[in-house]
A = this chain, B = another copy of it.
Amino acid sequence: KLMQKMNDLRTPALVVYKHKVEANCERMLKLAKDHGVTLKPHFKTTKCLEVAIMQTGGTKCGMEVSTLVEADLLAENGFENVIYAYPISPHKTPKCAELSEKMKSFVVFVDNVAALKALEQWKLKDNKNWQVLVEEVVKCGNVTFSGLYSHCGHSYKCKNAEEIKEVGKMATNKMLTLVDELKKQGITCPSYGIGSTPSCSKPAPEMSKLTEWHPGNYVLYDLMQVKIGSCEIDDIASFVLTRVIGHYTKGEDVFLIIDCGWTAISLHGVKDSEETSGYGLIVDHPELKLAHMSQEHGIVKSKDSTKPLDLSRYPVDSFLRIYPYHSCATCAMHPVFYVADQNDNIIDHWRPVKGW
Contact = CB atoms under 8 A, between A and B. Distances in A.
Nearest to A335: B354
A92 to B, nearest CB: 7
Contacts of A333: 332
Interface stretch (A97-105, A169-177, A257-265): A257-265
A246 B111 contact: yes
A194 to B, nearest CB: 17
Contacts of A44: 295-296
A17 B342 CA distance: 48
A11 B68 CA distance: 11
The A interface is mostly helix, strand or loop, or mixed, namely: loop
A10 B356 contact: yes
B112 A247 contact: yes
Interface string A319-334: 0000000001100111
B328 A295 contact: yes
A86 interface: yes
A317 B11 contact: no
A10 B95 contact: yes
Please give the count of copies of this chain that the complex contains. 2
Given A90-B317, A267-B266, A10 B68 contact: yes
Select the residue from A89, A244, A259, A333 with max chain B CB neighbours within 10 A: A89
A239 to B, nearest CB: 16
A307 to B, nearest CB: 23
A356 B14 CA distance: 11
Nearest to A93: B317
Nearest to A333: B332
A87 B298 CA distance: 12
Contacts of A263: 332
Interface string A222-245: 000000000000000000000111
7 contacts: A86-B296, A86-B297, A89-B243, A89-B259, A114-B316, A267-B268, A334-B355
